[in-house]
Structures are given as structure tokens and as C-alpha cells.
Amino acid sequence: MAAAVPVPRHTLEESPNSRTVKMGDWEITARTNPISNANELDALQAAVGGIPLPEMTFGNNALELVHKASGWTYAFGTEEALKGVKNGELESGDGGVKVGYADAWLKSRTGPSSQLPMPETVPTKPYDWTYTTIYSGHVLPSSSITAKWVPADPENATHTIPLAELTRHDPILFYAEIPLYEDELHDNGSSHLLVRISKACDADMCFHPVAFTLRVDNVLFRAHDTRIYHSFSSSPPLVVRETSGWEAPYDWVKKRLPKRDDLTPLTDPMWIAKILSEMPAEVSQQAGAGTKWKGLGTRTEVAVLK
């Protein structure tokens, strides 16, 4: 029988729309509220530059990580995430996506038997209709310090997220799933942004706070994840942030279905992200789906909380 894992000293506070856990110098709060109402949506749309908002937008949801000793507050929220969606014509690196039937539609109207001229290709919407974002959290204005993120030193062991910590069976002291937005992309797929926290240990904290998943039917799958790690023994306190982006053609992911005739997993963001992350890096993090999206690859950064 495996030895029991000690439960770290902590306190929990709950209200109808929020949950807070306090551990050592940290206070972590998850806020989950109903979908935004019309007035809230109008204000949010104005705040993010006027782009049409996703069909399901949870503008009052958020996760906040507060380091009480330094006053550093790091948060994940809907408004800042939507500010990461491209507003304007897509450029190289933005990962623009054209729906699967677009070419077939053009050929049916501009083929040899067609009397119509080939239309000029222009963007039909002045924003990224897939709601792709590489948002990985932001420092709140109320923070006492800014604590700049800098590239991790690959030779420094403390600048990495130990994989063993992610798979260790520690007690789950705090769990929350916080949707920020979701859209069915005009029946062409789905776009999800979800904040999730489910890990806290006696020696460290490791979170998988924000995960973006995109499915464009018959075109591609895309995912962008952020992980946060902190060791309570680090001095001065050090936070590690790892962001990873993956992408692959639709058919490549479809071939990995457990059952060929069961397409259900293709609508499961967690299954999609798992399959993309298991592909060789040269496939899903370099070649991707040929969009040259700037979010591809893995980046590790650190912030010192002095």
C-alpha cells in the first residue's frame, strides 16, 4: 500500500460564486458566474475593441493568484483573453483559418462551366473569427510589484516545471473549472477558453490554469496551454510559466480516434489537447497545419517575486 501523502496546512473559504484557498503566502480565488447579460456584454465588447463576442461569454469569471508577502497578483480573465484575439485584418503569424468548404464553393462558381469571374479574395470580417488567443494571464494593476517575466535559463534546474510533480498523486486541495468563452464558429467547429486549477501540494504548487482549444471542421485543430509552477522552498520566491502551442490538420487528429466510427472525442477539448501534445514536436509544434501561427512551440519564463 502506498504511503499516505500529507495534506498541507490550508484554509478554504466558499461563497455562492467564489472559492478561495489559502496556503502559506498564497491566496487563490476562483470566481464562477452565469453567462454575461446584455448590458455586461455591451460594456465588454467596447472594452475589447468592438469585435463580435463569442456566443457564450462569461465576462465575470476569473482566477486570481495572490502572493501575499510581495503583493504580486496574477489573474486570468475574459476581457484580457479577448483582447488577445486579433482585431483587424489577419497578418502573417496570426494563424488565419479559412473554412473547409470555401475552396469547393469557389470552384463551383468559377470553374470552366461557370460564367462568373474569379472573385478577389478579401477578408470578410475584420477580426479573427476563430477567437484564437495566446493569452497566458496578466498582472493586476493592484499588484504591489510587476515582477517581469524573463526567459528561463535552460541550465538552471529551478527554471523548469518538474514533470514528476504533474503526475504525482497528491491530495487535490482545490479544484475549479472556469469557462471564459465558447463559440460554435457558425457551425464550422468550436472554440473554447477554459481556466482550470486542480493541483496544490505540500512542497509546491503546480497549476494548469488556462487552456485554449480550437476545432475547425475538416481544416485543423489547435491548442494553446499555460502552466504555472512555484516551489515554496524557492528564495526569493520564483514562479515558472510554461506556454505551449500545438496545431495539426484535421485528418491527422481524426486518424487517432480510438474508434473510427465514433467522432465524439473530436468535440472533447481535453482529448484534442492530449492528442496534439503527444504528436512529435516537429509535426504539431513546428509544421502545424501550415498556418505559420506564432503560437506554435513551447516557451518557459520565470518571474522573481522580490
Confidence of residue 231 (pLDDT cuts 50, 70, 90): confident
Tens of pLDDT, residues 42-95? 999 999 999 999 999 999 999 999 999 999 999 999 999 999 999 999 999 999
* Tens-place pLDDT, residues 145-172: 778 999 999 999 999 988 776 666 666 6
* Percent of the chain whose pLDDT exceeds 70: 84
200 closest CA partner among 33, 68, 21, 15: 21
Per-residue confidence (pLDDT) for residue 34, from 0 to 100: 96
18 pLDDT above the threshold of 50: yes
- Neighbouring residues of 130: CB distance < 8 A, sequence distance ≥ 6: 95, 97, 185, 189, 191, 214, 216, 222
User: What integer pLDDT is reported at residue 176 of this predicted model?
Assistant: 86
Q: Global pTM?
A: 0.87
Residue 146: how many CB atoms within 10 A of its CB? Answer: 10
Is the pLDDT higher at 130 or at 111? Answer: 130
Cα–Cα dist 58/38, whole Å:
12
In which element (H, E) is residue 219 found?
A: none
Mean pLDDT of the region 185-213: 82
Q: Who wins on pLDDT, 201 or 302?
A: 302
pLDDT above 60 for 286: yes
